[in-house]
Amino acid sequence: MPTTLGKPFEIEWRGQPPHLLDFDVDVWYRFLDHHRPETINLYYDVLLGCHDMTRDSLKDPMLRMWYYNTAKRVDAVIETPDEVWLIEIAKTLAIRSIGQAMSYAILWSQDPLIDKIERPILVGESMDLDLLGVAGKLGVTVFLV
């Protein structure tokens, strides 16, 4: 199950993160400005999943293309001194956001490239109170910015 981090981005970089929707970018950068000190490394568009693939099988160009088109993609991954934050970003967080964050944590744990505790995190501008409670019960950290 080949997790693919890609290249790390500079914390100060303020371009368009890969695959992040335009209306989510301002929310993300507000969050990032508050969490700059604890960030060691920052990655965007991290690929997870495809349990039948191996790192060796990715040498085949067709399989590699298939993998890049079908892997699950975490919006952002932040490495802190003690944890790896697997981050789903959406202006308005919904029930699907919780499922995505939990899925990312499970998939990451099957092929962790950074040997630290993984933490599923949601970053958004709003989330209804029922879903905030659900996220808390399921161990998903929510940051509203």
pTM: predicted TM-score of the whole model, two decimal places: 0.92
Whole-number pLDDT of residue 68: 84
Residue 1 confidence class, pLDDT cut points 50, 70, 90? low
Q: Which residue type is seen at 15?
A: G
Could you tell me the residue range of the domain that residue 82 belongs to? 22-144
pLDDT per residue as tens digits for the range 107-120 = 999 989 999 999 99
Give a yes or no: residue 15 inside a domain. Answer: no
Whole-Å CA distances, 143 to 8, 17, 105: 22, 19, 17
Give a yes or no: residue 13 inside a domain. Answer: no
pLDDT per residue as tens digits for the range 34-77 = 988 889 999 999 999 876 777 788 889 998 888 888 889 999 99
What is the tally of structural domains in the chain? 1
Give a yes or no: residue 101 inside a domain. Answer: yes
Give a yes or no: residue 16 inside a domain. Answer: no
Q: What residues have CB less than 8 Å from 29, skipping those under 6 apart?
A: 14
